[in-house]
A and B are shown apart, each in its own frame.
Chain A
Amino acid sequence: MSPTTKIDLTGPRRSPWPERLIKALLIASSLVAVFVTVGIVFSLLFEAIRFFKIIPIQDFLFGLEWNPQTAIRADQVGAKGEFGAVPLITGTLLISTIAMLIATPLGLASAIYLAEYASSRTRAIVKPLLEILAGIPTVVYGFFAALMIAPLIRLTGTGMGLEVASESALAAGLAMGIMIVPLISSLSDDVINAVPQSLRDASYGLGATQAETIKKVVLPAALPGISGGLLLATSTAIGETMIVVMAAGLAANLTANPLEAVTTITVQIVTLLTGDQEFDSAKTLSAFALGLLLFTLTLLLNIAAQKIVNHYRERYD
């Protein structure tokens, strides 16, 4: 090659069309996630607005009676049915609270043990087992809750002279709590592991025991991350469907008694949409209003969780 041959650096300013096509495909694919979100919001909103034209939104949000009957004849009394979502919301919250009350201590304690005490061999055995627990379909938990947990609770309750519904909130909440344990445990495990070793060393250096170090130093440092994880877990509990469909009841009781039967938002959505349905009835449309409520609730929790976790990440990165 002699220096006199001129180098030609020019080329087509645009890349060849197959490349542009691929690039367009890549961009389009990344937009699918946005479309799905938009699709969810719009389809829920659209149907919910139609519902609110029949049932005023304040009646839905603040009504204390849920009884979505569709009248056989239009002139029947109470033809519209009652669409007050409050009992569903309280039912959902009751079961989620029970679940979180069970899952939080169990999940946190196992995360602390795995992160701070367990030998690598124990970790190697326990973590996959917890992953299996997390991977079991919720329909299985629902089956087990209805078949075993609920009768067991009932038996114990009646033995103690308590009145227990056959589909108590406690049974569903218990199964859900166990389902959530691995979620809390793995999220907290990550957060605890991310706490810098230097903090622990500082505490040990002062003669603190391991438990003291964990409680006074590690957990406070990990708290934001852990609470983010707890929010995510709560959102999972609220949105969980199969366990409550199978183990909680249909009765829209407004109660805080875990031994009574309650119903949840998700149970009602399933009930409203799996029977025979006429599409434009208030009954069917109300499922979308409930869906919108559920989506909003969980979205707020998720955003809050992400905010907290991101904030936390910045502090230690």
Chain B
Amino acid sequence: MSFQLIERQILTSGKRQDIPEQPPVISTRDVDVYYADKKALDKITLDIPANAVMSLIGPSGCGKTTFLRCLNRMNDLIDICRVEGDIRIDGQDIYAPEVNTVSLRAHVGMVFQRPNPFPKSIFENVAYGLRIHGLTSSKSELADRVEDSLKRAGLWEEVKDRLDEPGTGLSGGQQQRLCIARTIAVQPKIILMDEPCSALDPIATAKIEELIDEMRANFTIIIVTHSMQQAARVSQHTAFFHMGKLVEQGETRQIFTSPQDERTESYITGRIG
């Protein structure tokens, strides 16, 4: 992919330039992550503004997923993983003892690389989070919330007649939108997406990207992507990781048009990674 192409894309997509000025909703300070003795992240300090899309880019194995999984403490589940440093969401230290991972993950949703619907009905997939968090008080309210979430994920029209069918029977792109619907049903404030389109074809990808752009109004979205075009298309901010370090971050347009670091430049022009 050529440098100029991205540049042109960004410069021509006018609406993506009005980046809202918001206080950071997530801020990390000197975050180190170890897998056993191996250091996977080194002193990551990053502010993530609210109601915008931030993309994390970088070569494979540089720690993007690791960083993402720190933000909703999914790394707690890996025995050998140790997180140090300070991660705050809305000013609260999420590794503080009084923080409950269940509430944290309800507020910081996650969409995974491969669509992973539960092997249950489409309806149950979306309703599950609402049920376990006790977010609805009646059956009809539950149904409304499920419908609303499916609509916001742009899936309602396609599945409204077969809500009882298993979610695993949908196409890959539909499955991924189902997973997004499942995530937004519990109304998180932040959504983490780890290469959500890597298992999808271009049309399904376009749909999801469109969706991400719409969701920006209500959610703060952090997306890991290997596609430079995707980062350019959907995000307002970009952070470039390299070998466990945060090399450069800033407005997407600036990162892609005038990268400060030479590693960033090599990466986005396709010389490393």
Contact = CB atoms under 8 A, between A and B. Distances in A.
Within 8 Å by CB, do A and B touch in the complex? yes
Interface in B191-242: 218
Interface in A230-278: none
B189 A10 contact: no
Q: How large is the interface on A (under 10, 10 to 19, 20 to 34, 35 or more residues)?
A: 10 to 19
B23 A10 contact: no
Contacts of B107: 7, 9
B189 A7 contact: yes
A310 B207 CA distance: 50
Contacts of B99: 9-11
Nearest to A3: B50
Contacts of B187: 1
B92 to A, nearest CB: 5
B14 interface: no
Interface in A13-49: 13
Contacts of A11: 99-100, 102-103
A12 interface: yes
A8 interface: yes
A53 interface: no
Contacts of A73: none
B92 A9 contact: yes
A204 to B, nearest CB: 37
A6 interface: yes
Interface string B140-166: 000000000000000000000000000
Interface string B70-110: 00000000000000000001101010011110111001000
Contacts of A10: 92, 98-100, 103
B236 to A, nearest CB: 15
B51 interface: yes
B46 interface: no
Nearest to A10: B98
A1 B103 contact: no
Interface in B11-46: 22-23, 25
A3 B26 CA distance: 12
Contacts of A7: 89-90, 92, 107, 189
Contacts of A1: 187, 189, 218
Contacts of B104: 9
Interface of B: 22-23, 25, 50-51, 89-90, 92, 94, 97-100, 102-104, 107, 187, 189, 218
Interface of A: 1, 3, 6-13
Given A1-B189, A10-B99, A13-B98, 10 more contacts: A3-B50, A3-B51, A7-B90, A7-B107, A9-B89, A9-B90, A9-B99, A10-B103, A11-B99, A13-B97
5 smallest beta-carbon distances between A and B, as pairs: A11-B100, A11-B103, A7-B90, A3-B50, A9-B99
